[in-house]
Amino acid sequence: MPRDPRYDILFEPVRIGPVTAPNRFYQTPHATGFGWQRPQSGAALRGVKAEGGWGVVCTEYCSIHPSSDDSPYAFLTLWDDQDIAPLALTAEAIHAHGSLAGIELWHGGAHASNRMTRVPGIAPMTQPALYHLPATARAMDLSDIRTFRGWQRDAARRARQAGFDIVYVYAGHDYLPFQFLSRRTNQRSDAYGGSLENRVRLLREMIEDTKDAVGETCAVAVRLAVDELHGPEGITSDGEGREIIAMLAELPDLWDVNVAGALGNDSRSARFSGEGFQEENVAFVKSLTSKPVVSVGRFTSPDRMVSQIRRGVQDFIGAARPSIADPFLPAKIREGREDEIRECIGCNICRAANNEGVGLRCTQNPTMGEEWRRGWHPERIAVHPRRERALVIGGGPAGLEAALTLGRRGLEVALAEASDRFGGRLLREATLPGLQTWLRVRDWRLHMLGKLANVDLYPASRMTAADVAGFGADHVVLANGSHWRRDGVGVCATRPLDLPEALTPDDVFAGTPVAGPVVIYDDEHYFMGGALAEKLAVAGHEVQYVTTAAVASSWTVMTNEQDFLQARLIEAGVKLHPLKALISHDSGTATLACVYTGRTEALPCATLILTTGRLPDSALADELSSAGIAASRVGDCLAPSSIADAVYSAHRFARLLGEPDLPPRREMPPERSP
């Protein structure tokens, strides 16, 4: 289809200093979990983004010196000339599709752990390491600052040699240059402290040094947090953030601006922010500079993208998470296929992967991170070698993904769902506060299934073993989900409890009446316990939230949501009881025990809700096994987990059907002669 002319502005070339971006789609720097150890994986991932039409594709953070070591997390390095060739792989992969390659040079300052290099950390002032370590970052003297500037110049020179077109000066996310900017972290009394002009001095010098190092061949970008969201004690968009832009307005070739006292502010999940949420803080920048501006906001709507450009908010559409969910987002708009955009749901599973120290992953896009190690592509898949029929049972996220992938491979597919609506667990979880975007997992797959003539959908079709036998499919795929446990077994408690009056989230979603006071017992630690507590508190119930962890929904630390979530629960009036295990529940009382001392206490409890763990729905699998009918299980009915894991499980099964299940490729060090 031809492109909608409303979107033509998105495909205009934009000049960035000495280079020109072919369009306004700009993949801002984001972590991959590959770093310097896995250069081929990183190059393949960025190459797919460029193939998908992103006019600028940037790397993750790239350390300029061993004193900026983020181990155990994955990061790039330009410490010496040996780093040039591995990084050139990424630049070449991006250039192969006509896009500009950007590299984000980084020094973490007091945020760098240096656990691998064991080099003492540095900061504007002597201060405890910000990585929660028993270590201290030492204060930089003037000699240290001169040396640091040399590291930036050397890394910029190496970046140019590796073939990058845009070289970053990184002054955001509370890293070293930003630590010099903020009064919270800079109380120096020399030429680099005190007045804002002095605190800006290092950033100005870094921009000038970088421009000198790259000459006329590369653009120099500045990534700056214009508001660290700490109020008047820090940088604010209506205060010193604005003044910094005004001071340096024409010095870099591009401004990449955001809100970020920490990464969680910038990459806020959909649960705590809407699309374009940073606009109110960054919109002023273009009025102060003639240089192009890029920012982010989890943009997935082409109309909102056009609005950002036409209203003068920014010159590029910056994206990290939307480019992960759909690396081909620009190409789909260009080709008039915007209905096929796989929209980011803002769940931050991508952030969790980085925070866990593993390769990138995505709920919407199961191929993300698998481009090199498995050879998976988000838009292409091998046709199944034989004309066969598949019956997929269960229309939740795993079943929808299995049906879609099998359909794309050319099989004749029937998708049977017991209820009258497709979506499975998504239908329930999307009713929780802030999780409405999760329905995009269902909506995109249903839409794409509607384009396949070889896939038939059967709602309100509960299947028995006799039904399956009568269908006569070559492949039977079970994706019929899981259910919440009623016995209290979870992460902490491994022995079942007798809890005959307890409810589970399944009961609450089914409409079982809830009376206060309500006790929610969370021994699973992802979103469910905290989200249910918020939902019931907002509905007017007295809610007591009990968890064996130290904080509410503790695993959401990985998705950068925990701080926001805990604050919201407190504001909603939820009473938190951390580090407590449930012992019993009877006669309107829940008995708890301290996880350390065993000391008990009682809480009034009219309704106990357990969010401790889930069990696969195995009845049909058992029935089929007894009847001698072979079936494959995917998603939660195989191993209950996140939606991302359910989608991946189904995609992996469908993509590997008829193919050898080989281990993923690993990047091995080169063999050396004895």
Rounded to whole angstroms, the Cα distance separating 547 from 426 reads 24
The interaxial angle of helices 440-449 and 397-408, nearest 10 deg, is: 30
Percentages helix, strand, coil for the chain (3-state, rounded to 5) are: 35, 20, 45
Residue with tokens 């120099």: 220
Rounded to whole angstroms, the Cα distance separating 148 from 372 reads 35
For residue 100, the cross-strand partners are: 56
Token pair listed for 132: 């929660």
Q: Please, what's the b/e burial string for 527-550 (b: 16 or more CB within 10 A of its CB; e: otherwise)?
A: bbbbbbbbbbbeeebbbbbbbbbe
**Pair 16, 254: CB distance under 8 Å:** yes
Residue with tokens 């181990």: 71
- Give the three-class secondary structure for 214: helix
CA contacts within 13 A on the Cβ side of 563: 7
Going from the C-alpha of 435 to that of each of 270, 430, 500, the distances in angstroms are 7, 5, 30
Element (H or E) spanning 428, and its range? helix 425-429
Catalytic residue check, 175: yes
Kind of pairing between the strands at 19-21 and 14-16: antiparallel
Rounded to whole angstroms, the Cα distance separating 531 from 482 reads 19
Q: Which of 73, 168, 170, 175 is catalytic?
A: 175
**Pair 42, 85: CB distance under 8 Å:** no
Q: Which of 442, 412, 323, 256 is nearest to 25 (CA)?
A: 323
Radius of gyration of the chain (CA): 26
- Give the three-class secondary structure for 92: helix
Amino acid identity of 525? Answer: H
Question: How many C-beta atoms lie closer than 10 Å to residue 515's C-beta?
Answer: 10
Question: How many C-beta atoms lie closer than 10 Å to residue 298's C-beta?
Answer: 24
Rounded to whole angstroms, the Cα distance separating 535 from 616 reads 26
Element (H or E) spanning 167, and its range? strand 166-171
- Active-site residues: which are they? 175
